[in-house]
């Protein structure tokens, strides 16, 4: 047992299992590391499930510089779990509360592929009652991204015509449901294989390969353009959006507007553009409470049956994170992927010196 400065033995801190990325471009490893202690404004969450996003795959490969990750690093951004300890200054949650949130995994914040996570309470909300832990863990990043785009930037409301590019995708299928829940009439693009999924969500599907932008703008809006276009694809699709939005009052919002684009078509229509960068509060430490507030408001919609995540039925646990990542990277998944935590006895590699 280690000793303190007086020579007296100090108790060993509790440990936990976590999935640690030791270096970019290699598979992460299941390690035994020290369990965190919640600081001021934080709660300790016993993680029950961790969502897997395409961003996790980019982080692992070293292709997500904007996420500001430095290995060794605990992976995982989304979680659902139970509060087991409340740090100083926290009044919103009590021990035993079931919560969900976009809680870490970027910047200097350890991730959620671990048995416990110390999380800024502002980033969390109470879990929707009607969802399992795995279902809830699949939601936060997608929900917050859709909320910031459709509610915060575009102010989507009743009787508006909304177009969602990529309506069957991880963010897109949540955006479709959120816009409908707010009273909009929604159209969504997808491939032929995804059209029935889009229709089942309540949107009018558009086969983007078979229908030109001019054709669907004419058929859906009488040639006037959409009130709001929510783009999850980027590139040429975003360029098309600038010419498909309603003049003067139209809004284009993109979650992938990182390329070089000509704004001339948008400017000539007198319309507006906004970008969404959902990681910003986690990276800067500012405006985090908005994440928790958005998740709380969305949880009410979920419990009303207005938003339901499509979750891949394949079971994953901490010992099969590599398979979960491969499913997301290959596109073979049948919905959002989430990893159940604490349900296996997966082998643990020798402990790492640091995991964050």
CATH number at residue 95: 3.90.180.10
Cα 76 versus chain centre, distance: 10
Residues 172 and 246 in one domain: yes
Distance separating alpha carbons of residues 50 and 101, to the nearest angstrom:
10
- Residue 247, domain CATH: 3.40.50.720
What pLDDT digit, counting tens, does each position of 155-192 carry?
Answer: 999 999 999 999 999 999 999 999 999 999 999 999 99
Place of tokens 């949130």: 101
pLDDT of residue 2 exceeding 60: no
Q: How far, in Å, CA of 70 to CA of 58, rounded?
A: 13
Same domain membership, residue 124 and residue 61: yes
User: Which residues 6+ apart lie within 8 Å of 327 measured at CB?
Assistant: 312, 314, 333, 337
For residue 38, tell me if it sits in a domain. Answer: yes
**Is 129 inside a domain boundary?**
yes
CB neighbours of residue 12 within 10 Å: 9
* pLDDT surpasses 60 at 351: no
For 99-104, what is the mean pLDDT?
Answer: 98
Task: Give the pairing type, strands 337-340 and 42-52.
Answer: antiparallel
Does residue 79 share a domain with residue 97? yes
Looking at the DSSP bridge assignments, the partners of residue 272 are 251
Euclidean distance between CA atoms 120 and 104, whole angstroms:
9
* Number of structural domains the chain divides into: 2
Residue with tokens 């039925």: 313
pLDDT at 349 over 70: no
Residue-wise pLDDT for 39-50, tens only, equals 999 999 999 999
Give the mean model confidence (pLDDT) for residues 303-325: 97
> Are residue 198 and residue 251 in the same domain, yes or no?
yes
pTM of this structure: 0.93
Rg, Å, the chain Cα set? 21
Burial class (CB in 10 A: 0-12, 13-18, 19+), 256: middle
Q: Is residue 76 part of a domain?
A: yes
Q: Among 275, 310, 332, which residue terminates a domain?
A: 275
Q: Is the pLDDT of residue 337 over 80?
A: yes
201 and 252 assigned to the same domain: yes
Task: Please give the angle made by the CA atoms of 72, 58 and 27, to the nearest 5 degrees.
Answer: 50
Determine, yes or no, domain membership for 256.
yes
**354 lies in some domain:** no
Question: For the residues 122-147, what does the mean pLDDT come to?
Answer: 98
Read off the pLDDT of each residue in 92-112 and give the average, rounded to a whole number.
97
Does 112 share its domain with 30?
yes
Residue 342 sits at φ, ψ, to 5 deg, of 85, 15
- In this structure, the answer to whether residues 168 and 237 fall within a common structural domain is yes
pLDDT tops 50 at residue 214: yes
C-alpha closest to that of 159 among 183, 142, 180, 137: 183
CA 141 to centroid of chain Cα atoms: 2
**Residue 347 contacts residue 64 (beta carbons within 8 Å):** no
Q: Are residue 154 and residue 227 in the same domain, yes or no?
A: yes
Neighbours of 150 (CB within 10 A): 27
For the chain, percent of residues with pLDDT exceeding 70: 93
Q: How confident is the model at residue 259 (pLDDT cuts 50, 70, 90)?
A: confident
In a domain, 353, yes or no: no
35 and 46 fall within a common domain: yes
Same domain? For 169 and 121 the reply is no
Owning domain of residue 189? 142-275
| pLDDT score, position 342 | 78
In terms of DSSP bridges, do strands 272-275 and 251-254 run parallel, antiparallel, or are they unpaired? parallel
Q: What is the DSSP string of 52-116?
A: E-HHHHHHHHT--GGG---SSEE---EEEEEEEEE-TT--S--TT-EEEEE--SSTT---SSBSE
Residue at 347 is within a domain: no
Residue in the block written with tokens 């430490």: 285
Q: What is the pLDDT of residue 13?
A: 80
| Pair of tokens at residue 347 | 């082998």
CA–CA separation, 311 and 333 (whole Å): 9
Task: Give the three-state DSSP class for 200.
Answer: helix
Tokens of 207: 């086969």
Question: Does residue 331 register a pLDDT over 70?
Answer: yes
Note whether 168 and 194 are within 8 A (CB).
yes
Helix (H, G, I), strand (E, B) or coil at 289: helix
Give yes or no: residues 134 and 147 share one domain: no
Looking at the fold, whether 294 and 254 belong to one and the same domain comes out as no
- Domain membership of residue 355 (yes or no) is no
Of all helices (H) and strands (E), which one includes residue 48?
A: strand 42-52
């Amino acid at each position: 047992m280690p000793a303190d400065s007086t020579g007296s033995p100090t108790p060993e801190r509790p440990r936990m299992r976590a999935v640690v990325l030791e270096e970019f471009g290699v598979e992460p490893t299941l390690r035994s590391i020290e369990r965190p202690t919640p600081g001021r404004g934080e709660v300790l969450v016993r993680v029950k499930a961790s969502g897997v996003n395409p961003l996790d795959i980019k982080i692992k490969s070293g292709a997500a510089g904007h996420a500001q990750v430095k290995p060794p690093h605990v992976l995982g951004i989304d979680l659902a779990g139970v509060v087991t300890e409340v740090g100083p200054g926290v009044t919103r949650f009590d021990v035993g509360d079931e919560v969900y949130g976009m809680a870490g995994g970027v910047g200097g914040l350890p991730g959620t592929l671990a048995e416990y996570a110390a999380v800024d309470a502002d980033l969390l909300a109470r879990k929707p009652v009607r969802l399992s832990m795995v279902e809830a863990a699949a939601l936060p990043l997608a929900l917050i991204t859709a909320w910031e785009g459709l509610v915060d930037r575009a102010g989507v409301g009743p009787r508006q015509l909304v177009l969602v590019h990529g309506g069957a995708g991880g963010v897109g299928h949540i955006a479709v449901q959120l816009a409908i829940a707010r009273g909009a009439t929604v159209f969504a693009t997808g491939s032929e294989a995804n059209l029935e999924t889009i229709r089942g969500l309540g949107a009018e599907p558009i086969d983007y390969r078979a229908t030109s932008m001019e054709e669907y703008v004419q058929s859906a809006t009488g040639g006037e353009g959409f009130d709001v276009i929510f783009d999850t694809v980027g590139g040429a699709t975003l360029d098309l959006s600038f010419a498909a939005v309603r003049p003067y009052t139209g809004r284009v919002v993109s979650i992938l507007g990182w390329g070089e684009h000509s704004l001339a078509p948008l400017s000539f229509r007198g319309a507006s553009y906004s970008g969404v960068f959902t990681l910003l509060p986690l990276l800067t430490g500012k405006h985090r409470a908005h994440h928790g507030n958005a998740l709380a408001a969305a949880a009410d919609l979920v419990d009303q049956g207005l938003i339901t995540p499509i979750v891949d039925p394949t079971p994953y646990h901490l010992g099969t994170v590599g398979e979960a990542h491969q499913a997301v990277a290959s596109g073979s998944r049948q919905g959002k992927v989430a990893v159940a935590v604490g349900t296996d006895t997966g082998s643990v590699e020798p402990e790492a010196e640091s995991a964050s």
